[in-house]
Amino acid sequence: MPVHVVGNVCVDTTFRVDRFPQPGETFNARSHMDGVGGKGANQAVAAARTGADVRFFAAVGTDPAAAFIRERLKNEFDLRQLSAKPLPSDRSTILVNQDGENLIVSGIDCAADFDPLRETGLLNLIAHGDILVMQGNLKSTVTNACLRAAKAASATTILNPSPLSGEALDLAAVDVVIVNQGEAFETTGKPDPEDAARDLVRRGAKAAIVTLGAAGCLLLEDGAVDLIPAVKVAVVDTSGAGDIFCGCLAGCLMKGWRLAQSARTAVAAAALAVGRRGTLEACPSRVELEKLMNTVEAESL
Ligand code: ATP
């Protein structure tokens, strides 16, 4: 059964800088490189590398950036569900400072125009037992329609509503909502992650996960809280950690694993990613994820 990842893909240009610039300031980066990113693509790659059968639904332009994206993703999963639009492909500029923190700005013409229910075969492809994974890059009306269509087809839905748009998302159509600590506060107004998770469940989500950076994550399921500690690692670049977490979690759930066991694996996968440079480049390989999943499975016996 497939994991349908519906969202965005873009060309990421990452600049490594000594510090973040002040308004109006110009200075040179230490290095820069292009790669493929976008929360949708990152999560799709992470899910595919767990061994899941991933279908990726996103929009690209018809420009050289689109060709770059297709070339980089062609060995990860089937690209037939990519929509080609007469628009510039989406792009992100990422600044990473010496502490591994990041600042990101994105151009999202394709994602803003993308309607997978109208433009792709999603509605006919999604079925009972499948998993739908979405993020916050598409219009909220589009995201809500996809989530509701997936629930109507008896699929499991995972929503990582990042970046937050301020518009209401239908948590009643969400089985697992995943937010980081800042998003948890912004969405619920509750500074305490457990209070925030309870609020997200009160709003309709079946289960809620608040990722806590170097502190791991908090899982709220069936009224019970599980605090899953992070794996200690020397931080190189945290960008994309949340996406590796979400994609890996979806892949583990597709194997029929319990949510807590899936979250434990996702925490370990994300730790591998923060120890490396880049976003997608930092995603653990298929071999690494297989080893990690075997270890978690053995520990839980
Ligand atoms: P990003 O925006 O950087 O992709 P995020 O803000 O969405 O990430 P975080 O809560 O920062 O999400 O990180 C997601 C997961 O990655 C955490 O739950 C944790 O398991 C892992 N992680 C993040 N930072 C660290 C760290 N410094 N050490 C170990 N694991 C980490």
Beta bridge partners of 178: 209
Closest CA to 156 of 179, 176, 178, 135: 176
Ligand 1 atom at minimal distance to the Cα of residue 279 = 4
- CA gap 61, 155 in Å, rounded: 30
In a domain, 149, yes or no: yes
In a domain, 78, yes or no: yes
Instruction: Work out the angle at residue 93's Cα, subtended by the Cα atoms of residues 283 and 143, and round it to the nearest 5 degrees.
Output: 70
Catalytic-residue membership of 199: no
In a domain, 298, yes or no: no
> What are φ and ψ of residue 225, in 5° steps?
-100, 135
Range of the domain at 256: 2-21+30-113+124-291
| Domain of residue 102, CATH code | 3.40.1190.20
pLDDT in tens, 135-184: 999 999 999 999 999 999 999 999 999 989 888 899 999 999 999 999 99
Beta bridge partners of 291: none
For 179-212, letters b (16+ CB in 10 Å) and e give bbbebbbebbebeebeebbbbbbebebbbbbbbb
Question: How far, in Å, from the CA of 299 to the mean position of ligand 1?
Answer: 23
Closest CA to 141 of 121, 118, 122, 157: 118
Residue 242 annotated as lining a ligand binding site: yes
pLDDT at 239: 79
Catalytic residue among 130, 175, 199, 243: 243
ipTM of this predicted structure: 0.98
Residue with tokens 């999943």, as numbered in its chain: 293
Domain count, the chain: 1
Which protein residue has the closest C-alpha to ligand 1 atom 28? 214
Ligand 1 atom at minimal distance to the Cα of residue 235 = 27
71 HSE (CA, 13 A, CB side):
9
> Which regions in the chain score pLDDT beneath 50?
none
In a domain, 67, yes or no: yes
Residue 96 annotated as lining a ligand binding site: no
The single-letter code of the amino acid at 298 is A
Residue 285 annotated as lining a ligand binding site: no
pLDDT at 47: 98
The pairs formed by 257-261 with CB atoms below 8 angstroms and a separation of 24 or more are: 259/176, 259/207, 259/219, 259/221, 260/219, 260/221, 260/226, 260/228, 261/296, 261/297, 261/300
Residue 237 annotated as lining a ligand binding site: yes
In a domain, 174, yes or no: yes
Would you give the end-to-end CA distance of the chain in angstroms? 25
Tell me which residues have their CB closer than 6 angstroms to ligand 1.
180, 211-214, 216-217, 230-231, 233, 235, 238-243, 245, 267, 270-271, 274
The single-letter code of the amino acid at 187 is T
pLDDT at 102: 84
Ligand 1 atom at minimal distance to the Cα of residue 241 = 4
Question: How far, in Å, from the CA of 242 to the mean position of ligand 1?
Answer: 5
Question: How far, in Å, from the CA of 100 to the mean position of ligand 1?
Answer: 11
Which protein residue has the closest C-alpha to ligand 1 atom 11? 213
Question: How far, in Å, from the CA of 193 to the mean position of ligand 1?
Answer: 14
Q: Are 220 and 211 in contact (CB under 8 A)?
A: no
pLDDT at 236: 86
> 91-96 and 102-107 as β-strands: parallel, antiparallel, unpaired?
antiparallel
In a domain, 119, yes or no: no
pLDDT at 159: 98
In a domain, 49, yes or no: yes
In a domain, 296, yes or no: no
Question: How far, in Å, from the CA of 52 to the mean position of ligand 1?
Answer: 22
